[in-house]
Structures are given as C-alpha cells and as structure tokens.
Amino acid sequence: MSDALPYDSHRLRHLAGEIITNVRELSQLGWTPATSSNFSERLDDRHAAITVSGRDKGRLTEADIMVVDFDGQAVGSDHRPSAETLLHTQLYRRFPEVGCILHTHSRNQTVASRLFSGAGHMRLEGYELLKAFRGNETHETALDVPVLPNSQHMPTLAAQVDALLDRGPMWGYLIDGHGLYAWGRDMAEARRHLEAFEFLFGCELELRRLTAGH
C-alpha cells in the first residue's frame, strides 16, 4: 500500500483487520463453506475494501483484502475481487449510510432460500429478535425477506436488487440456493442483522420440522 494510492491506506489496514477477525468467527460457525461468501466495508465515498475472489474465508490475511471502486474495478491490486462485487458496490453507491456488507452461505440460509423461493419472500413475524433490525421498535411487526432467483450474471442480479431497494429500507435478501446478503452502517450493525436473520431462519425451519404432518 502506498501513499500515492487514491484512498487512506491506514483506514484500509484497519478495515482489513476488522473483516479478518469477524469473518474468521463467521467461518467458525460454518457460514462460509468451501471458499463461499464475500465481505466488504466502505473505505470512503468512492472505494470499498472487499475480499479477493476464491479465498478460504476462514483463513483470511491482509493479502486477501483488496480495494475496488464503486464500478467494481480493482484499485492498486492485480487480484480479482469477489465475483459478486457488483452486489456490494451497488449498495455503497446508492446508500451513503451503508458501511458494511456481509454475504454468507449458511445451511439455514440456503435451505430457507430453497423453501421460500416460490413465494418470493420469507415472512418473519412475532419474534422479539425483529428488534435487532435498525428501525424496528417492536416485535409486533412483520419482515418479508425477499428471495431472488439465482444467476451467474451479476448485472441481472443487481437489477433485481435495485428494483427491491426502490420499495423502501431493507437490511438483507436471500438468493435462491445460494445464500444471504445483509448489511448495516458498520460491521457491528451488519453483523447484528446477519445474526438476527440467521437465528430467525433457524426458528422458521425448526417450526416447519416440528409441525410437519400435523
């Protein structure tokens, strides 16, 4: 990292450390199997720190974090950024308050995405933990988590996400057979949202198992 680069290299090192520590914990929970998942934080109003594509997310080092601009182009690095970079940069570009984006592939997220892809959303209702989402003051609310069809063509996926974002504030979405995107103003908030989604998906799946055949 050199001072000639168009971003603050000290801040990059700080964010890289934060990503490495948090992602290692998420990986230990089994939420990033087989090199899946990707993670980023806003560096400034034009750049984000993001994971290099294909790396084992449980063993990230500083060399596995790189910088992209909000067009998804690598800045000051020969590495290839996450294949899903566009799904990160579209949020940073559109919402200045978004500071961190976490994408994971846990079993609960993947199974839930399969189960609710037909409906196009998964309804979470009546849970105290709904208050974990910024803006929710009470459990007496319902949150419809969108489930998008998967695609290897990121502009197609990004266009679907953009259409969802037009509807109002949201903190995450599922992609069918793939995983969850969750975000927040900073790492702590994004992680709180991610953990709340994961817990609530687990509750819904468990309820389905317990009530199957009744």
Kindly indicate which of the ranges 5-13, 36-44, 183-191, 195-203 contains the residues binding ligand L4RZE5RM, using the contact rule CB under 6 A.
Answer: 36-44
CB of 55 to ligand L4RZE5RM, least distance (A): 6
Tokens of 68: 């992209």
Kindly indicate which of the ranges 1-9, 34-42, 112-120, 200-208 contains the residues binding ligand L4RZE5RM, using the contact rule CB under 6 A.
Answer: 34-42
Site string for ligand L4RZE5RM, 103-142 (x = CB under 6 A): x---------------------------------------
Beta pairing partners, 143: 124
Please tell me whether residue 53 binds ligand L4RZE5RM under the rule CB under 6 A: yes
Q: How would DSSP label each residue in 36-55?
A: --EEEEE-SSSEEEEEBTT-
Per the CB < 8 A criterion, the answer to whether 67 and 47 are in contact is yes
CA separation for the pair 88, 69 (Å, rounded): 11
Please tell me whether residue 151 binds ligand L4RZE5RM under the rule CB under 6 A: no
Per the CB < 8 A criterion, the answer to whether 123 and 142 are in contact is yes
Q: Is 105 one of the annotated binding-site residues?
A: yes
Q: Which amino acid type is present at position 181?
A: Y
What is the sign, positive or negative, of the torsion defined by CA atoms of 116, 121, 124, 130?
positive
Rg (CA), the chain: 17
Kindly indicate which of the ranges 15-23, 32-40, 59-67, 184-192 contains the residues binding ligand L4RZE5RM, using the contact rule CB under 6 A.
Answer: 32-40
- Closest residue to ligand L4RZE5RM, judged by C-beta, is 82
Site string for ligand L4RZE5RM, 155-184 (x = CB under 6 A): ------------------------------
CA separation for the pair 110, 95 (Å, rounded): 27
- Return binding residues for Zn(2+): 103, 105
